[in-house]
Structure 1
Amino acid sequence: MEIIGKKKLKGEIKVPGDKSISHRAVIFGSISKGETTVENALLSEDIISTIKCFREMGVKILINEEEDKLRIIGNGLYGLKKPSRPLDCGNSGTTMRLLSGLLAGQDFESTLIGDESLSKRPMDRIINPLRKMNGNIAGADDKYPPINIYPSKGLQGIDYTLPMASAQVKSAILLASLYANGETKVEEKKITRDHTERMMEYFSEDDFIGKNIYVPGDISSAAFWMVGASIMKGSSIVLKDVGVNPTRTGIIDVLKSMGGNIEVKNIRNINKEPVGDIYISYSPLRGIELDPSIMGRLVDEIPVIAVGAMFAQGTTIIRGAGELKYKETDRIQAIVTELKKLGGNIEALEDGLIIKGTDALHPGVLESYDDHRIAMALSIGALNIEGKSKVTNTKCINISYPKFYESLWEIVE
């Protein structure tokens, strides 16, 4: 994708539905009894992977692409059917990890597979606690996909402290707890997104009968526009109907600390999720040191925060982000390598980054590493640099934001 800078952003954007909430809507709709409708669902490749897995287990899911809507005819908590073939999670770590927890409590055998990238991502983090719950689960070298799950002699509740900040691990345990005897407690040292807890509470209110769900806009997708408008002179945008769950708003807190001009208005609750409109306009940013405790609230946004820091005055230090190494690519190394191509003053730490703002930036040819968040972050950075840059292999953006460039061309000036 060729990108011409130097630009500004003007107008109103409706970002796609939240990816995390869309996954969970499909999961809880499928294990509830009766019909669940999901509005503003994100119909990206990752969500389609989750949908296909449940279809393989006998759940009827109808997709209305024009209206971003799903209609799920749930089978109930104990109504899933044995799949006739391995469940293909594609590139979606969320699909694999959450389904592992759900499937650990079923009375049939199942296998979870993924693409080449997902097959290299660590799964021992969910295998170990599920085994502690008496789950019969194994992976390649007990660490990687494929994941083989067999019926257990009965799951048992556990008291588990997360060794790392991971909403996916927490969610796998909580989903398994639906089929476990006794009480399950999960303790986390750092706050992580709580969409599973909120949706579990929402569905349990009516004993897992089908519900209506509205998926708010994804704040992780909104983050690219927040940073873009903050660093591009003359920019002023509004992001409508974005999820502002406090476990996800670390990006807002960080940008405000850097001097960003951001305000959230019209906050309301929809199916137990807070939603609001975010107003952002250009403001000179300054470097800061991020508190490692905030990582659970914004780890996905670190690549675009690094881009913003490249244009800030002073030094930005990011620590406690070691989880970035285990995403679709090693995001720490990827962002360092690519921002240096633009003249960025950036270096890698074992668990983070040090970025010094600079005016000596220039266009370049950039690689996405087939990672959607790297591709979008680089695109925002290139948009604020005079001249023509190119970001290669941008098809990966379909994983979370299929209309990213379409939205960009509508608001760029």
Structure 2
Amino acid sequence: MQNLSAPEPFRLAATGPLAGTVSVPGDKSISHRALMLGALAIGTTRITGLLEGEDVLATAAALRAMGADIERTGAGEWTVHGVGVGGLLQPETALDMGNSGTSTRLLMGLVASHPITATFVGDASLSKRPMGRVIDPLSLMGASFMASPGGRLPLTMTGLCPAVPLEYTLPVASAQVKSALLLAGLNTPGQTVIIEPTPTRDHSERMLAGFGATLDIEETPEGRRITLHGEAELKPQTIIVPGDPSSAAFPMVAALIVPGSDVRITNIGINPTRAGLIEVLQAMGADITLENARTVGGEPVADLHVRHSPLTGIDVPPAIAPSMIDEFPILFVAAACAQGTTRTTGLEELRVKESDRLATMAKGLAAIGVKVEEQEDGLTIQGTGGDPLPGLGNSGTQIATKLDHRIAMSFAVAGLAARSPILIDDRRPVATSFPNFLALMTGLSAEIS
């Protein structure tokens, strides 16, 4: 896991338009799930385009510790020799999740229906994140937990086999909680039913069906009802991971706010449950064209052609939040460069991410001269109307990222449209999701210092 003892400050600057064709790392959500379901299939699953960031590597290491044979055969190419549903083994040491909340919550679901005990540990940032929303329903399935105060890591859990099938309505929109329960249901007799009042990203459902699990999905007055038939037998697959839309968000917004820019981003997943940022930016006036639309491995994919555009502030509908929840930090940067006011609501979830993203973004935006108001569930941002952001001036201060990779990349992009430098306190958290972010940006003619 990353060593955060010695920060590495950095900044980006633009000396002219951004231009070029780039590809971003594989989708983080799909990469996690491909490894996990491959580990539960009997036979060999082959994955290409896997995101080789620290979060996904934490998932791979934990699955190895529980008996799966996982090996890297080339750049982004991995093979997983699975142990079968119910075949995970007792890990000999604690499972180090680094900074990855997705790894932690989904693997807790896997362990919940196995007769094993596992201890989850993480870095300082992850150890502040509450796990109660997963602990509560998994406890109803029979798993037992010894967690740190507030339901946080370090946490030790013991699964139950056979686990108790569950019908559960998600109290908050969370793809991680939904996925954890579906993974627990794979080794649980009978039917595990999850009711989702607000739709969230559906990668787990798509991939479970692809691996051979039986799912019934229906729309009801209460929401989306997902029924998983337990004691499944999963068949190995060949998985092609599309580019991560959450990573594509950074060069996309960079191209929109740097005058004269013209950028293509290839092979991006445009799953409707993940494409909210594109929809919102287009509503603000962004020139974003989807080209070469196609389906790869059951996921819709396209190339994005993005040109510099004057943006106009809007009221972002709260209903769209689940489809772009990780992209709000970079949307706030786009809003800061727009004409007029952008208002966001319904974003309480951002307070329990890698950092309190509402508070951290509000403080950072104010530091670089943006007019911003923080509410309990969102931010209201008054844009510059296309004028350069003021930046930090010569104060010598830095943007405090709170070890949050998306905060670091968002303010780095803001620096491309700033009158004076925007210095980020640490580049290393970026490696959790986008290891080649700086190389990609310099390839588009940005300058790093």
> Do they superpose with TM above 0.5?
yes
Match of 1:85 among 70, 81, 93: 93
Match of 2:432 among 383, 399, 410: 399
Q: Structure 1 residues 319, 34: closer, same or farther in 2, change over 3 A?
A: same
Deviates further, 207-216 or 401-410: 207-216
Match of 1:315 in 2: 341
CA contact (8 A) 1:139 1:146 kept: yes
| Residues 113-171 of structure 1: CA deviation (Å, up to 9, x unaligned) | 21121111110100111112222234224611223222425312222111111100000
Q: Equivalents in 2 of 1:259, 1:319: separation in Å? A: 20
Q: Secondary structure of 1:33's match?
A: coil
Paired letter, 2:306: I
Match of 1:218 in 2: 244
Q: Equivalents in 1 of 2:79, 2:158: separation in Å? A: 30
TM-score, structure 1 length as denominator? Answer: 0.96
Q: Secondary structure of 1:78's match?
A: coil
Query: CA shift at 1:79, angstroms?
Result: 2.0
**Structure 1 unaligned spans of 5+:** none
Deviates further, 5-14 or 135-144: 135-144
1:40 lines up with 2:49 in the alignment: yes
Query: CA shift at 1:230, angstroms?
Result: 1.3
Match of 1:128 among 127, 132, 136: 136
Q: Equivalents in 1 of 2:161, 2:264: separation in Å? A: 53
Q: Secondary structure of 2:402's match?
A: coil
Match of 2:259 in 1: 233
Q: Secondary structure of 1:367's match?
A: coil
Paired letter, 2:71: L
Q: Equivalents in 2 of 1:138, 1:244: separation in Å? A: 39
| Residues 242-273 of structure 1: CA deviation (Å, up to 9, x unaligned) | 01111000001000110101111212212211
Match of 1:370 in 2: 403
Q: Equivalents in 2 of 1:192, 1:410: separation in Å? A: 33
Q: Equivalents in 2 of 1:151, 1:399: separation in Å? A: 28
Paired letter, 2:437: F
Paired letter, 1:75: V
1:3 lines up with 2:12 in the alignment: yes
| Residues 7-34 of structure 1: CA deviation (Å, up to 9, x unaligned) | 4211101010000000001101111111
Pairing of 1:11-410 with structure 2 (within 5 A)? 11-64=20-73, 66-141=74-149, 143-152=151-160, 154-204=162-212, 207-358=233-384, 359=387, 361-364=389-392, 365-410=398-443
Query: CA shift at 1:6, angstroms?
Result: 5.3
| Residues 282-320 of structure 1: CA deviation (Å, up to 9, x unaligned) | 110000001111110001000000000001001000101
Q: Equivalents in 1 of 2:302, 2:388: separation in Å? A: 37
CA contact (8 A) 2:411 2:422 kept: no
**Structure 2 unaligned spans of 5+:** 1-9, 214-231, 393-397
Paired letter, 2:288: I
Paired letter, 1:322: E
Match of 2:227 in 1: none
Q: Equivalents in 2 of 1:389, 1:119: separation in Å? A: 28
Q: Equivalents in 2 of 1:342, 1:324: separation in Å? A: 21
Query: CA shift at 1:84, angstroms?
Result: 0.6
TM-score, structure 2 length as denominator? Answer: 0.89
| Residues 374-413 of structure 1: CA deviation (Å, up to 9, x unaligned) | 0100011111113433212111100000100000001126
Match of 2:223 in 1: none
Q: Equivalents in 2 of 1:13, 1:224: separation in Å? A: 12
Query: CA shift at 1:360, angstroms?
Result: 6.8
Identity, in percent, stands at 40
Runs of 4+ in structure 1 off by over 3 angstroms are none
Paired letter, 1:68: G
Q: Equivalents in 2 of 1:151, 1:376: separation in Å? A: 38
Q: Secondary structure of 1:156's match?
A: coil
| Residues 329-377 of structure 1: CA deviation (Å, up to 9, x unaligned) | 1111111111112111111110110000124732223222211000100
Q: Equivalents in 1 of 2:140, 2:422: separation in Å? A: 50
Q: Equivalents in 2 of 1:261, 1:3: separation in Å? A: 23
Q: Equivalents in 1 of 2:18, 2:85: separation in Å? A: 46
Q: Structure 1 residues 387, 5: closer, same or farther in 2, change over 3 A?
A: farther
Deviates further, 105-114 or 195-204: 105-114
CA contact (8 A) 1:287 1:314 kept: yes
CA contact (8 A) 1:130 1:137 kept: no
CA contact (8 A) 1:5 1:386 kept: no
Q: Structure 1 residues 153, 51: closer, same or farther in 2, change over 3 A?
A: closer
